[in-house]
Structure 1
Amino acid sequence: MQVNILECKNHLSQLVRRAQQGEEVIIAHRGVPAVKLVPVGAIPETAQRDVLSWLRRNPLPVPLRRSAQEIDDAIGQERQGWD
């Protein structure tokens, strides 16, 4: 399904529901497809692989790396300061 921006503005909640149900909703600007409305959980697997590839090519510097336990401990210390 393709709709122009004005129609999208007038029927956004309906279009969101349709996209959540799996229907492809294309929003066009002056008749030219501009964006696709997709559910949040519908990130293509290729995009996920691209992010993982980027992270492997660009790791954190060693001084910034922390284990899950170190992160949990830091969060716990921060929360203690809230009281």
Structure 2
Amino acid sequence: MKASIAEAEGRLDELVRRAEAGEEVILTHHGKPRIRLEPVDKAASKAVSRRALLEEIQRSARLNATPGPSAARSQDFLYDEDGLPG
């Protein structure tokens, strides 16, 4: 449901109840969406699930990382046995 901010001033109780019931409530200003009303529990659970997802991705990346060649010797082909550019 969409409602203007001016309209919402008189219907805030109704809009809050609708948002708590799971309905998407968007407040607009000059016809452009500005604010979304949603229950705190829903917003908190989104943040927790995002954090859990990021932690799982990081854990998976650590487990699947494979060591590459040593950077200490990666440029050796540029120099000859005397250490001069070849």
Normalised by the length of structure 2, the TM-score is 0.53
Q: Secondary structure at the match of 1:35?
A: strand
Matches within 5 A, 1:1-83: 1-43=1-43, 45-48=45-48, 49-50=50-51
Instruction: Provide the aligned length of Structure 1 versus Structure 2.
Output: 54
Structure 2 unaligned segments of length 5 or more: list them. 55-86
Structure 1 unaligned segments of length 5 or more: list them. 54-83
Runs of 4+ in structure 1 off by over 6 angstroms are none
Q: CA RMSD in A?
A: 2.4
Normalised by the length of structure 1, the TM-score is 0.55
Q: How far apart are the structure 1 equivalents of 2:46 and 2:5?
A: 28
Q: Which has the higher contact order (CA 8 A, sep 6+)?
A: 1
Quick check: which has more Rg, 1 or 2?
A: 2
Aligned-residue sequence identity (percent) comes to 43
Q: Structure 1 residues 46 and 11 mapped into 2: Cα distance closer, same or farther (>3 Å)? A: closer
